[in-house]
Structure 1
Amino acid sequence: MASDTTSSTDVVVIGGGPAGSTVSTMLAQRGVKVRLFEREKFPRFHIGESLIPETYWVFHRLNMLPKMKASPFVKKHSVQFVNAIGRQSAPFYFDENKPGECSQTWQVIRSEFDTMMLDNAREHGVEVHQPARVLEVIFEGDRAVGVKVQKDGGGTEEVRAKVVVDASGQSTMLQNRLKLRQWDPVLNKGAIWTYWRGAYRDTGRDEGATLVVQTPNKHGWWWYIPQHDDTISVGVVAPFDYLFKGRGPHEQTYQEEINACPAIQERLASGTRATGYYATKDYSYRSSQVAGDGWVLIGDAFGFLDPLYSSGVLLALKSGELAADAIADGLTAGDTSAAQLGRWGEMFGKGVDRMRRLVCEYYDGFSFGKFVKTHPHLKGKVTDLLIGDLFDDHVDVVWEPLESLYPPEKKAIPAWSAGAPPEAADKVNELFLPPDPLR
């Protein structure tokens, strides 16, 4: 069926989350005409609240730093780990490795942060449409040439573009259509979380620290993230089957996990629950390619990595930045081929692989404390990984010493490769609980 109206622009961006806001802002800064279509009306709830310091450099390019500094978001200077028997590591202070303001980051409430990012895109000249639903990406042969959009009040519009950027998040519009998804053979997790008011929080420099608490049975871990509205985000992550098969309602499972973890019990003793419960699957996946002729994938539309080290927003911002540079250069040269638009893919993939390995090592029993005690000269490199300095091979010096601590029976971590999706992997909509009205 033909569209009611037709228009054109240089670049269409599908999705207004951090990845879509980043790519569109940077393209607009270079004089590119961008139309962004976001299906939801902001502010809207989203998980993924803890940033890591390497986001600083993307914020700088986006002109977002003054806004972040003026925001009420809690400042984050470090991350700490608590092991299965309750022993707490010394904080990994980011500025001990890289002094300067670039080593301080934030704990954000995503409804507020994402709105700030999208407003920033508007201020830079991006034409933002929301709520606006992209029905499909239009192809001519193998080349993407635009999108079909559902218009307000009915009818459709065909928007022609030289490049289409899929930043649709876990909707993964193009990844699904082109059958590009590769499931991770190891990281098949789930999460249940809620928000607490009045629970314990550190003071001073440690007030905004992310705490990662290993469960006593070592099946998973807790996140503990302080936020500026007097709440703390507290969630448990564990294998999907362990959390969701053969157990009761999410509230019951969550409480059972609290009862089994003294380190979390102690911190929540003075608190009261402030919202309902949320649950989602955290199956890790990525696309087999980042771009094709006339199209690019960024953020969760390209891939999702286990949230253990809070890398999600960084990977969204970084992929948006790299894609924007490739697109702008390609438009200038008249080259919107897969090779040009995806020139950043190999480097980005190596960075994701570094973070993935650190995640897998943790689930396989890696102890930060033991490693640093055995190799104190490498604490800085481990901290580099934790702050998100993933796209430079200088951090690879940690892997051989890390392997030296392996027990004889340890096997290599399976590579991320294509395969059948994990059981129940497509049931995210059945598992995810709608945002609580109190939030």
Structure 2
Amino acid sequence: MSSLIPTKTTVLVVGGGPAGSYAASVLARRQIDVVVLDAAKFPRYHIGESLLASTNYFLEYIGAREKVLAHGFIRKPGGAFKFRKDFPAVYTNFVEHNNGNHAFNVNRAEYDELLFRHAGEQGAKIFDEHKVTQIRFSEQDSRRPIAAEWESVNGNRGTVEFDYLIDAAGRQGLLSTKYHKDREFTQSLKNSAVWAYWKGSKRYGEGTERLGAAFAEALHDHTGWCWYLPINDGSVSIGFVIHEEFMKGKRAGKTLEEFYMSQFELLTDIPMYRGEGVMIPNKEGRDSLVYMASDYSYAAEDVGRLNYRIVGDSAAFIDPFFSSGVHLASVGSLSAAISIISVIDGKVSEETAAEFHDAELKMAFHKMRGGLKTNVLNDIDEESFDRAFDIIRPVIQGTGDIGVDKSNTGNVDLSEEEVRSTMDFIFRLFSHAPPGAKVVDHEDDGLHGNVDDLDRDARARLKTFSQYVPNLMGHDGVMHILDAAQRKMNFSAGSTTKTELKAIVPVV
């Protein structure tokens, strides 16, 4: 980590969480000068400990997957959901078709620091305990941010000028909340979350191949749902998400802890798993054993124009039912970084690149939010939800944004209208060898039978890319994925035809 904050950088990233660190890693591996400022001191506590299966592919892209695997986070082979007390839980199996497609349950303090330090190791200049207090805008164009004022925990102050800005400041936001003031909230998803951590409780799936899976159960009074999630520090996270219209009545006359405990009476399975477990001290060092936070779903209208991009929770947040937070952070951060690289490379205009990021991020957000609006789960009258559950399975696994179908064969049909749909260029990295590249023999690639193989085709093609593409700080495939993205941008701007696009980004 550098000791002095530069006064000028090519890209300034505000926020060192998964969104900011991911974008910084992509940029730094492209040898672009990038500075990351975060107000907190790492490691720091954060909720949102359940990740999607798509995380593997994003981590692979920045060379961080092996670090995450080695850290000891809990491998999440799937997720179980109990929607009605008289119906059995349904299960989505992430690893059914390849055993490396597991997700993770993580201690976010450890996971976020790992990605933050990884960005530094890739060449980004990273600084925690440095808060951005003000953004300066150009006198020639009041929409264009050009510098940021910062203040350190010990009172030092300074200013850093930049060519491009990525706002990854988290739920408190920066551009959308302090300057644009354009966040729109989803009324149907205005919830509050209340949770605590337990020791001595059982894990869902003990003694089976489902060990490590997350479990979610709907409250019997239909006011919300409960999560049950094992964490790698030995604790189990148990939390309730309840719509705000029911919160006041439910909490009346109760302390926060009494209210929290009373909700277990509205569950069937989770109290059995909790068993004789006990709540542990607050991980933030506060007095209360129970945490509470508003859990409103929102999205910013302006997520990127000119020389700035908004990503992660700064851009949008969805109810945690689908564990989509880190997934959307990865989608938006990759889109932001690649769109900025494309402008720096002179491949596309500033306007086209910004429009590309806007389309990619908003499509991903609407895909995730769309799953929550699906009424099919409320209307079925059969004893098994499995058939209806297939409809939202791609959302829960995150595969809808990386182009992997539910069988993980990669055979995803894309219509002409979906050419600009969210992040389909990501899966091109994993599903098509670059032009002229030699196809790897899977039987001899050393990956066959690997106990933690992602997807043999994906891993093999990444290996091929390392031979085909000039290596930039150990990065496999950056030019191929970048080329595909840039051609999508030019297609949207009208300078690339559909025929030319298909030649480079095949529609499978």
Return the TM-score normalized by structure 2. Answer: 0.72
**Structure 1 position 269, deviation (Å):** 1.9
1:258 alignment partner in structure 2: 264
Separation in 1, partners of 2:87, 2:383: 12
Separation in 1, partners of 2:182, 2:357: 18
Q: Residue 123 of structure 2 is aligned with which of 116, 122, 125? A: 125
**Structure 1 position 331, deviation (Å):** 1.4
Separation in 1, partners of 2:68, 2:152: 33
**What's the secondary structure of 2:95's corresponding residue?**
helix
Q: Residue 222 of structure 1 is aligned with which of 221, 226, 232? A: 226
Separation in 2, partners of 1:106, 1:393: 20
1:41 alignment partner in structure 2: 41
1:160 alignment partner in structure 2: 161
Instruction: Kindly provide the amino acid, as one letter, of the partner of residue 16 in structure 2.
Output: G
2:309 alignment partner in structure 1: 296
Instruction: Kindly provide the amino acid, as one letter, of the partner of residue 84 in structure 2.
Output: A
Cα distance change of structure 1 residues 363 and 162 upon mapping to structure 2, 3 Å threshold: farther
Q: Residue 316 of structure 1 is aligned with which of 316, 323, 329? A: 329
Cα distance change of structure 1 residues 389 and 182 upon mapping to structure 2, 3 Å threshold: same
1:423 alignment partner in structure 2: none
**Structure 1 position 318, deviation (Å):** 1.4
CA contact (8 A) 1:17 1:167 kept: yes
Cα distance change of structure 1 residues 382 and 361 upon mapping to structure 2, 3 Å threshold: closer
Instruction: Kindly provide the amino acid, as one letter, of the partner of residue 336 in structure 2.
Output: A
2:71 alignment partner in structure 1: 71
CA contact (8 A) 2:78 2:213 kept: yes
Of stretches 356-365 and 265-274 in structure 1, the one that deviates more from structure 2 is 356-365
Of stretches 302-311 and 242-251 in structure 1, the one that deviates more from structure 2 is 242-251
Cα distance change of structure 1 residues 131 and 336 upon mapping to structure 2, 3 Å threshold: farther
* 1:96-125 deviation digits (Å, cap 9, x = unpaired): 3x4241x21110000000010001001001
* 1:185-209 deviation digits (Å, cap 9, x = unpaired): 2111111000111112132421111
Of stretches 241-250 and 123-132 in structure 1, the one that deviates more from structure 2 is 241-250
Cα distance change of structure 1 residues 219 and 181 upon mapping to structure 2, 3 Å threshold: same
2:50 alignment partner in structure 1: 50
Separation in 2, partners of 1:79, 1:175: 33
* 1:149-189 deviation digits (Å, cap 9, x = unpaired): 11464353121101011000011110011122111121111
Separation in 2, partners of 1:366, 1:162: 52
Instruction: Kindly provide the amino acid, as one letter, of the partner of residue 20 in structure 2.
Output: G
RMSD (Å), alpha carbons: 2.5
CA contact (8 A) 1:309 1:386 kept: yes
Cα distance change of structure 1 residues 232 and 113 upon mapping to structure 2, 3 Å threshold: same
Q: Residue 295 of structure 2 is aligned with which of 274, 277, 282? A: 282
**What's the secondary structure of 1:222's corresponding residue?**
strand
**What's the secondary structure of 2:47's corresponding residue?**
coil
- In the alignment, structure 1 residue 241 sits paired with structure 2 residue 254: no
CA contact (8 A) 2:134 2:149 kept: yes
Q: Map residues 87-236 of structure 1 onto 2, 5 A cutoff.
A: 87-96=87-96, 98-101=97-100, 103-140=101-138, 141-151=142-152, 153-176=154-177, 177-201=179-203, 202-203=205-206, 204-236=208-240
**What's the secondary structure of 2:84's corresponding residue?**
coil
Q: How many residues align?
A: 387
**Structure 1 position 249, deviation (Å):** 2.2
- In the alignment, structure 1 residue 14 sits paired with structure 2 residue 14: yes
* 1:43-84 deviation digits (Å, cap 9, x = unpaired): 111000001101111100111111111111111011111133
Separation in 2, partners of 1:116, 1:344: 26
Instruction: Kindly provide the amino acid, as one letter, of the partner of residue 211 in structure 1.
Output: F
Of stretches 35-44 and 249-258 in structure 1, the one that deviates more from structure 2 is 249-258
1:418 alignment partner in structure 2: none
**Structure 1 position 134, deviation (Å):** 0.4
Instruction: Kindly provide the amino acid, as one letter, of the partner of residue 183 in structure 1.
Output: F
2:499 alignment partner in structure 1: none
Instruction: Kindly provide the amino acid, as one letter, of the partner of residue 208 in structure 1.
Output: G
1:355 alignment partner in structure 2: 368
The structure number with the bigger radius of gyration is 2
Cα distance change of structure 1 residues 114 and 367 upon mapping to structure 2, 3 Å threshold: farther
Instruction: Kindly provide the amino acid, as one letter, of the partner of residue 197 in structure 1.
Output: K
CA contact (8 A) 2:73 2:106 kept: yes
Percent of pairs with identical residues: 25
Of stretches 337-346 and 49-58 in structure 1, the one that deviates more from structure 2 is 337-346
**Structure 1 position 364, deviation (Å):** 7.5
**What's the secondary structure of 1:365's corresponding residue?**
helix
Instruction: Kindly provide the amino acid, as one letter, of the partner of residue 111 in structure 1.
Output: A
CA contact (8 A) 1:192 1:237 kept: yes
* 1:251-308 deviation digits (Å, cap 9, x = unpaired): 1111111123232222222211113100001111001121022211000000111100
* 1:212-265 deviation digits (Å, cap 9, x = unpaired): 101011111000001122210000111023224552222111111112323222
* 1:313-345 deviation digits (Å, cap 9, x = unpaired): 111111111111111111121877354234122
CA contact (8 A) 1:164 1:295 kept: yes
* 1:374-417 deviation digits (Å, cap 9, x = unpaired): 56xx83x5432221123379989xxxxxxxxxxxxxxxxxxxxx
**What's the secondary structure of 2:171's corresponding residue?**
helix
Instruction: Kindly provide the amino acid, as one letter, of the partner of residue 195 in structure 1.
Output: Y
Cα distance change of structure 1 residues 373 and 261 upon mapping to structure 2, 3 Å threshold: closer
CA contact (8 A) 1:84 1:218 kept: no
**Structure 1 position 142, deviation (Å):** 1.3
CA contact (8 A) 1:144 1:294 kept: yes
**Structure 1 position 365, deviation (Å):** 2.4
2:397 alignment partner in structure 1: 387
Separation in 1, partners of 2:327, 2:185: 21
Cα distance change of structure 1 residues 155 and 65 upon mapping to structure 2, 3 Å threshold: closer
**What's the secondary structure of 1:236's corresponding residue?**
strand
Separation in 2, partners of 1:340, 1:109: 35
CA contact (8 A) 1:162 1:336 kept: no
Unaligned runs of 5+ in 1: 397-439
CA contact (8 A) 2:90 2:385 kept: no
